Chain A
Amino acid sequence: MKDVHLISLSVNGNEHELVVESRRTLADMLRHDLGYTGTHLGCEHGICGACTILLDDQPVRACLVFGVQADGCEVRTVEGLADGDQLSDLQQAFSDRHGLQCGFCTPGFLMLAEAYLSEADSSADPESVREAMASNLCRCTGYQGIVEAVCDVARSRHPAGST
């Protein structure tokens, strides 16, 4: 007998109710039960960060949280960033700075950066940004475009607080 639970959660403002097996990770649940395939799985042991999402506004590795734990929570995924076809400032900065190539790690970096940028003390200092972005792995870009994009947005979102 599978251990299953009926849960409800909000993803990017959409309410969902579903039955999920206890062991199903939040990443698999988002991807394969709810169709939010923008959240990618790159290692399933919490190192690469491709599955980073916001769970009640906190950045988490969706491979290290079980879907059942998200019962009653608010989840934000990459699909929630753009306004229709209009990219968010962060997404646009990633494109302008060539912060993505194959695109597989990109959703995780975007959500990581969203969390970083939402912190009051997030700075546009490249070293701090580099340290925060070191949470995730990218194999294509050498990180430069990613770091530049996040610095750009930190400057534009926190014009006073930037260092």
Chain B
Amino acid sequence: MTRFAVKATLRATNAPTGPLGRTGARMAREAKLDGHGTWIGASVPRKEDGRMLRGSGRFVDDVERYGALHAAFVRSPYGSATVNSIDVAAATGIPGVHHVLTAADLDNPYLLAVLERDEFVPTTMPLLAESEVRHAAEPVAVVLAEDPYAAEDGAEAVEIDFTPRQAVTDLDTAPTGPNVHSGLADNCLVDLTMFDDDRLDGVLADAPLTVEAEFSSARLAALPMEGRGCLAEWDDRDGQVVLHASTQVPHQLRSGIAQALGLPESTVRVIAPDVGGGFGLKCVVGREEVVIAAAAARLRRPVKWVEDRQENLTASFHGHEQHYAVRAAFDTTGRLLGLAADIRCDVGAYSAFPFTCAVEPLMAATELPGAYKVPAYRARGRAIATNKPPTAPYRGVSRPQIVLVMERLMEKAAAALDLDPLEVRRRNLISEGEFPYTGASGITYDEGSYRESLDLAEKTVTEAGWYSERDELRAAGIPAGIGFSCFSERTAYGTPIMAQRRMGMTPGYDTAHVRMDPTGEVIVTTGTCGHGQGHETTFAQIVATRLGVHPDQVRLRQGDTDLAAYGWGTFGSRSIVIGGTSARRAADDVAAQLRRIAAHLLEVDESDVRLMHGAATVRGVPGASLEIAELARTAYFRAHTLPEGSEHGLEARGSADPPGTFSNACHTVLVTADPGTGAVRVRRYLVVEDCGVVINPLVVDGQVRGGVTQGIAAALYERIRYDGDGQPNSATLMDYLAPTASEICPIQITHLETPCPYTEDGAKGMGEGGTIGAPAAVLNAVNDALAHTGVAMDHIPVRPEDVLSSLSRPLATVGGT
């Protein structure tokens, strides 16, 4: 086996000395505590890379089964319609077509996502539409054929008689439009008023400055490069339907299948092979996945479905379509006194299982204040049904929008008060000495570097000459602007926090199992399910550090419901905090077992045994040493040499269920606008990131850069559009503008490290932060570039057309910010 030539070193951060050197001191302290032998903080090359680079990764469509049937779904051409009849006769006659299944053939199964709140209206999501379709591309029937080509031939030949109805396609007309679900008043699925502070109306009435504004964000597709897909087969030996699926949440998918089909969970096994990105799209249960499982179980024949890009853009889950009406009160120094928000989320036609359609409004209403102190707060959050596909919690989940709202408010207040907008932020940010801070919505924030990250970002870009560059560009007639966004993001929501949502199924905890085999190699099993985040590497770093072995000796098994204890998968920036802590706790148990064996064999005190560099050594006794592999051999093969009552084998379970921990960051961006086309170009981007202790800088920086790219995409490029009839207008990658390398600039990252108090390694979650911070920073930069026009834009994406019309708007007609 080759060993990586990487020396375990602690992360060298760019944290400067002086007033900001606090973080450096923390680092030094950590270094002392861990000593050498730690893999935490090392840029260990990813264990995943080799197979991906050789083309031997195994994604779901790479799994082949002899005799498999291929599925194509017959989908609604209408946004809203009654289904009068379905005629499958012609389709079944198409060469290669074996079966055509409708809802009736499967006993009308459905998924039901529940929120245990009076303000929530539960609605069922039929796996295949029965008497009505509620969005274009809703599945109505499935054709199973010998190959995907014949399946599509068959799908074209299914004749469905629809009576189209008027569709509801936007937030403004939804309350008065036809009901998306029968009897659904105002098309409102959730209406929650939270944290209603009695004092707020008075505060707003009396404040020296009240800022009123509306903000909106477009519907987006998460757009993993691999769409959804699954292969189901009946395993007669185990009496199970085995589903390989491109999912972030194998256990939740198993539960969804079991609930929808009325099966014991033990009769369903879900396996996530390599998963080509998820970004939240794959953390809910898709109708298609359950249909394919049902078909395979019924037909006792493998069935495969691979979502194509058109389905991915039109029939999959969307997210991110929100509107905020906000009033904020400030004093004359720019201190925020109170905040009232009316939040509406266009959640589409159904509640996704198991998170429900409330995930966006609940997140938004609960976490809007973010990194800022809001003394008086009220938020109303609504989920509005429309005739569009349902929504899943896309990367960031409402936080890109709430950060955008808060950051725009800071800018607006500063403009109205003629103050420095960064100074206004500093006056409102939760700051050192105030942690742990409990905010108006009851959230307690663990320690972060909110002000420090802003200070460092401002210092960095000033020293790097961004402001002079901006001014030179402006002097040359090119609109240029710099934008900031400061934010914190709660990551790793444990059960107590998730329980506040009152979902029918409450995610949160996770469990890991660590087993060392007789050769000293380690297998870690986890209920999390990485899909590009490098978990095979970072979990190995954590476990290897505890066991004194090399990360190459640690293999991660994930994404298999028969292998792992019930786990909640990978979403919500939870895996390294919850799954990693679970793995570390299990590894610590195994390490203790190893130390006991070593202490016995070396006849020393257990507490003096250290595990490092593949050996057990004894403090103060140079030369006393045993290979860890020798300890493992002893544990399994010479158990009789161990004291009576010793455990058998070398394995342990560990669990974690933290309350959630706050990462934070400050993003800064320099943009220019083309005065002739309105096209905005991101020229420079800086992230000062604090996600606690960094396990693997390579991986963390990759997550940040990818996240920022998606945030830039949301701010400037991507938009899922529907016309008034509910027809999708963004069904291709020519219309849905995911940015290419040419649209994205190098992204500079600096780390501060404020360790998390709840996790063993001090790590905080960080998978979403880039996406969360970028839209606000970019929008602020665009507004800065357009400052001379007097136009203020509060929507994303900002299109070139918006910019150009601002630039050519006669100044006389322009209002204030």
The short answer to whether A and B are in direct contact, CB under 8 Å, is yes
Interface residues of A (CB under 8 A from B): 2, 21, 23-24, 28, 31-32, 36-45, 47-48, 50, 77-79, 81-82, 85, 87, 91, 94-96, 98, 100-107, 110, 126, 130-131, 133-147
Which residues of chain B are near A50, meaning CB under 8 Å? Answer: 225
* Complex CA distance for A137 and B224, rounded to whole angstroms: 10
- Which of A110, A139, A141 has the most B CB atoms < 10 Å from its CB? A139
21 A–B pairs (Cβ distance < 8 Å), ordered by A? A40-B59, A44-B308, A48-B309, A79-B54, A85-B50, A95-B45, A100-B53, A102-B276, A103-B51, A103-B532, A126-B746, A137-B225, A139-B279, A139-B738, A140-B702, A141-B705, A141-B706, A141-B709, A142-B702, A143-B709, A144-B744
- Is B733 touching A47 in the complex (CB atoms < 8 A)? yes
Which residues of chain B are near A87, meaning CB under 8 Å? Answer: 50, 53-54
* Complex CA distance for A146 and B61, rounded to whole angstroms: 25
Q: Distance in Å from the Cβ of A9 to the closest Cβ of chain B?
A: 18
* Complex CA distance for A78 and B701, rounded to whole angstroms: 26
* Complex CA distance for A138 and B733, rounded to whole angstroms: 13
Q: Distance in Å from the Cβ of B335 to the closest Cβ of chain A?
A: 36
Q: Which residue of A lies closest to B64 (CB)?
A: A32
- Is A42 touching B309 in the complex (CB atoms < 8 A)? yes
* Complex CA distance for A131 and B49, rounded to whole angstroms: 25
Which residues of chain B are near A41, meaning CB under 8 Å? Answer: 61, 306
Which of these, B149, B227, B276, B279, contacts A103 with CB under 8 Å? B276
Q: Distance in Å from the Cβ of B509 to the closest Cβ of chain A?
A: 26
Q: Which residue of A lies closest to B734 (CB)?
A: A47
Q: Which chain B residues (53-79) contact chain A, with CB distance < 8 Å?
A: 53-59, 61-62, 64
- Is B54 touching A95 in the complex (CB atoms < 8 A)? no
On whether A144 and B747 interact (CB within 8 A), knowing A79-B56, A102-B532, A103-B52, the answer reads yes
Which residues of chain B are near A48, meaning CB under 8 Å? Answer: 225, 309, 733
Q: Distance in Å from the Cβ of A92 to the closest Cβ of chain B?
A: 8
Which of these, B48, B309, B705, contacts A43 with CB under 8 Å? B309
Q: Which residue of A lies closest to B711 (CB)?
A: A142
- Is B225 touching A138 in the complex (CB atoms < 8 A)? yes
Q: Which chain B residues (190-239) contact chain A, with CB distance < 8 Å?
A: 223-227
Q: Distance in Å from the Cβ of B602 to the closest Cβ of chain A?
A: 38
Which of these, A42, A82, A134, A147, contacts B53 with CB under 8 Å? A82
Nearest first, the 7 closest Cβ-Cβ pairs linking A and B are A38-B55, A103-B52, A104-B276, A102-B532, A78-B55, A142-B705, A142-B709
Q: Which chain B residues (297-321) contact chain A, with CB distance < 8 Å?
A: 306, 308-309
Which residues of chain B are near A144, meaning CB under 8 Å? Answer: 705, 744, 746-747
- Is A143 touching B744 in the complex (CB atoms < 8 A)? yes
Which residues of chain A are near B734, meaning CB under 8 Å? Answer: 45, 47
Which residues of chain B are near A139, meaning CB under 8 Å? Answer: 223-225, 277, 279, 706, 710, 738
Which residues of chain A are near B738, meaning CB under 8 Å? Answer: 137, 139
Which residues of chain B are near A95, meaning CB under 8 Å? Answer: 45-46, 49-50, 53
* Complex CA distance for A76 and B442, rounded to whole angstroms: 58
Which residues of chain B are near A98, meaning CB under 8 Å? Answer: 46, 698-699, 701-702
- Is B708 touching A142 in the complex (CB atoms < 8 A)? yes
Which residues of chain A are near B64, meaning CB under 8 Å? Answer: 32
- Is B53 touching A45 in the complex (CB atoms < 8 A)? no
On whether A94 and B49 interact (CB within 8 A), knowing A101-B534, A143-B709, the answer reads yes
* Complex CA distance for A24 and B746, rounded to whole angstroms: 39
* Complex CA distance for A91 and B46, rounded to whole angstroms: 13
Which of these, B46, B225, B279, B741, contacts A134 with CB under 8 Å? B741
- Is A146 touching B741 in the complex (CB atoms < 8 A)? yes
On whether A100 and B706 interact (CB within 8 A), knowing A37-B62, A40-B276, A130-B742, the answer reads no
B533 at interface by CB-CB < 8 Å: yes
On whether A39 and B55 interact (CB within 8 A), knowing A23-B149, A139-B223, A143-B709, the answer reads yes
Q: Which residue of B lies closest to A41 (CB)?
A: B61
Q: Distance in Å from the Cβ of B759 to the closest Cβ of chain A?
A: 23
- Is B224 touching A102 in the complex (CB atoms < 8 A)? yes
Q: Distance in Å from the Cβ of A98 to the closest Cβ of chain B?
A: 5
B732 at interface by CB-CB < 8 Å: yes
- Is A79 touching B55 in the complex (CB atoms < 8 A)? yes
Which residues of chain A are near B279, meaning CB under 8 Å? Answer: 139
Which residues of chain B are near A135, meaning CB under 8 Å? Answer: 740
* Complex CA distance for A47 and B312, rounded to whole angstroms: 14
* Complex CA distance for A23 and B703, rounded to whole angstroms: 39
B513 at interface by CB-CB < 8 Å: no
Which residues of chain B are near A96, meaning CB under 8 Å? Answer: 45
Q: Which residue of A lies closest to B276 (CB)?
A: A104
- Which of A38, A143, A145 has the most B CB atoms < 10 Å from its CB? A143
Which residues of chain A are near B57, meaning CB under 8 Å? Answer: 38, 103-104
